[in-house]
Structures are given as structure tokens and as C-alpha cells.
């Protein structure tokens, strides 16, 4: 019999919790470690809709990228957002486990999946984790066949699940891109690292106005690089799920599935009619 604890142990060996950022909260949030697991569902976000999807698949365990309880709460009453999620999981007999920034940094985790999907031949982490083997760390850096920024941004858009926001880029559309850095999820904290790595383009999500603007100002003092390619947070962190689900199914006598739901919060886009590229 495979238990919740068995799979938690496997996940923690595969994506070690010590790789997580100090502020993070990966691990088991809901469920009995001794409970049997027959089916595991994977998703980026533990939203109520995703939880209902997991229960509909008869999942005994939901593994998500983002933690359910990243920030502290003082109540899990069913009329609160987090409480409704906890109640749905408990009543549906489904445990919930998160593998977050530890899965970002681990070998063949989130960062590797994103880099591979957008065509990057990986050289190593953008920011290596101290004391860990070279494949481990934040983001990835590597090379692609030389192409224009416009063409590369289109390739990134084609590689990711579609979202309302699509893919934005900043820089010369005809500028040549060869060396690339990627960070899944929020990545403006790594703008300086991308610049220091000498990349032509940096792919990440949640680029805020001021950090992105200042990074472009700094780039224009030199050769205009790195260019920026801004993508959906959820989309950029979804690409590792299929491989993880396959690994779990191979390691245990369980079945697995991956969410088909788009958990990007934006549902529509209205372009500015006067905008000209």
C-alpha cells in the first residue's frame, strides 16, 4: 500500500526542502500521512476549482507548486478562502502537498522544464545554490540558435500554455538573441543576475514596472541587453508537472493526472487601440 507519507518522502528526496527559500512553506498542508494513495493529481495552484477537479478525478493526494498556506491564517472556517479549500480537501478525502521554490531550484524541476520548453540548451543555474551540485540553483542560463527577439518571443508564447496576457517583450524586435536566462514565476529579483550573466534575453514573470523600467534604462547605457520577455506566472511554472506526474507513477503503484485548468488570474485582454509597435 502506498501512503501519503511514502509520496511525501519521495517528493522531498526529489525536490529537497532545504533548497526552498527561507520565506517559503513547501510540504504537506492537509491530510493524514498514514492514508492510502491510489491516485495523485498535479497542478500549479491549490485553488478551490483545482481542488474540486482533483476530487473529481478521485485523487487521494493533490500535489501543487504553490503552497496552500504560504501565509499564516487565524481561521480555516468554511466561509473563508483558505478554509473553504481545507474543508473541500478534508471532506473529499484528498491530502495536499506543495513543492515550491525547492522544485524551482532542483535539477530537472521547474527551471529546467521552462528552459527546455523555450528551446534553451542549458549550461547551468543562473544563480547556483551554495554547497549544492552545479545543476541546482535559481533559474537557468544557456543558449539558443541565434534569432531575433521578436521570433524568440513568439517561440516562448508557442511553448507556454495560452493565457489572456500572452507574452510581452522589451527591446529591439530585430535584436539578435543567443544567450538566454529563464526564471519560472516572479523573477524581477534576478534582473541584476541576468544582466551580470551577459545574456541577450531574460524570460520570467511578474516583472513590475519600476524594476523592469530601471533594468531597461541600465541596458540602454550599453548594447541594449538583456532584452526582457515577460510571461504568465502560472504558465511558466506549469511545464514541470507532466514529468513529475510520470515519475510518481513510475515510482509507486498509483495513477496520476495533471490539471487542465488555467489558473492564471487574468481572463481577458483589450489592447490599446492606438498602440503601434
Task: Find, among 243, 208, 230, the residue nearest to 65 by Cα.
Answer: 243
For residues 246 and 256, is the Cβ–Cβ distance under 8 A? yes
Cell of 257: 493526472
For residue 261, is pLDDT > 90?
yes
Please give the average per-residue pLDDT across 76-89, as a whole number.
96
111: nearest Cα among 239, 248, 201, 246: 239
Average of per-residue pLDDT across 198-213: 98
Confidence label for 166 from pLDDT (cuts 50, 70 and 90): very high
From the number of C-beta atoms within 10 Å of its C-beta (0-12, 13-18, 19+), residue 51 rates as buried
Instruction: Give yes or no for residue 273 having a pLDDT over 90.
Output: no
Report phi then psi at 123, rounded to 5: -100, -30
Residue 257 confidence (pLDDT): 98
Rounded Cα–Cα distance for residues 63 and 258 (Å)? 10
Kindly tell me if the per-residue pLDDT of 275 is higher than 90: no
Tell me what pLDDT residue 260 has.
Answer: 96
Per-residue pLDDT of 42-82, as tens digits, reads 999 999 999 999 999 999 999 999 999 998 889 999 999 99
Cell numbers at residue 123, please?
549550461
- Mean pLDDT (the chain) is 96
Do 227 and 204 form a contact (C-beta atoms < 8 A)? Answer: no
Report all structural domains of the chain as residue ranges with CATH numbers, in order of start. Answer: 4-101+240-257 (3.40.1390.30), 110-236 (3.40.1390.30)
Identify the band that residue 276 occupies on the pLDDT scale cut at 50, 70 and 90. low
Element (DSSP H or E) covering residue 85 = helix 81-91
Q: What is the pLDDT of residue 72?
A: 83
DSSP H/E element including 52: helix 48-56
Residue position matching grid coordinates 478525478: 57
Cβ-Cβ contacts under 8 Å for 25 (sequence gap 6 or more):
67, 69, 70, 98, 100
* Residues written for the chain: 277
Query: Would the pLDDT of 105 be above 70?
Result: yes
Q: What is the pTM of this model?
A: 0.95
For residues 240 and 264, give the distance between their C-alpha atoms in angstroms, rounded to a whole number. 16
Tell me: the pLDDT tens digits for 173-184? 999 999 999 999
Asked whether the predicted pLDDT for residue 277 surpasses 70, the reply is no
Is-contact 200 227, C-beta < 8 A? Answer: yes
265 grid coordinates? 488570474
Amino acid at each position: 500500500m502506498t501512503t501519503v507519507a511514502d509520496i511525501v518522502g519521495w517528493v522531498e528526496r526529489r525536490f529537497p526542502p532545504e533548497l526552498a527559500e527561507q520565506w517559503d512553506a513547501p510540504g504537506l498542508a492537509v491530510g493524514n500521512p498514514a492514508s492510502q494513495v491510489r491516485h495523485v493529481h498535479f497542478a500549479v495552484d491549490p485553488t478551490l476549482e483545482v481542488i474540486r477537479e482533483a476530487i473529481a478525478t478521485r485523487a487521494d493526494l493533490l500535489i501543487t507548486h504553490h503552497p496552500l498556506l504560504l501565509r499564516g491564517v487565524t481561521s480555516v472556517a468554511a466561509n473563508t478562502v483558505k478554509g473553504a479549500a481545507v474543508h473541500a480537501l478534508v471532506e473529499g478525502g484528498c491530502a495536499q502537498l506543495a513543492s515550491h521554490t525547492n522544485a524551482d531550484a532542483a535539477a530537472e524541476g521547474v527551471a529546467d522544464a521552462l528552459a527546455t520548453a523555450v528551446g534553451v540548451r542549458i549550461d547551468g543555474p543562473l544563480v547556483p545554490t551554495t554547497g549544492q551540485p552545479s545543476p541546482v540553483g535559481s533559474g537557468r542560463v544557456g543558449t539558443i540558435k541565434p534569432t531575433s527577439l521578436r521570433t524568440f518571443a513568439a517561440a516562448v508564447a508557442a511553448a507556454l500554455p495560452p493565457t489572456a496576457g500572452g507574452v510581452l517583450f522589451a527591446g529591439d524586435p530585430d535584436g539578435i538573441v543567443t544567450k538566454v536566462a529563464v526564471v519560472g514565476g516572479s523573477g524581477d529579483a534576478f534582473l541584476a543576475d541576468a544582466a551580470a550573466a551577459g545574456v541577450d534575453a531574460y524570460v520570467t514573470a511578474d516583472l513590475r514596472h519600476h524594476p523592469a523600467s530601471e533594468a531597461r534604462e541600465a541596458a540602454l547605457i550599453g548594447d541594449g541587453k538583456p532584452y526582457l520577455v515577460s510571461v504568465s506566472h502560472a504558465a511558466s511554472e506549469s511545464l514541470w508537472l507532466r514529468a513529475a506526474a510520470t515519475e510518481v507513477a513510475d515510482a509507486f503503484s498509483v495513477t496520476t493526472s495533471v490539471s487542465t485548468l488555467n489558473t492564471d488570474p487574468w481572463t481577458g485582454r483589450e489592447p490599446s487601440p492606438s498602440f503601434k509597435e
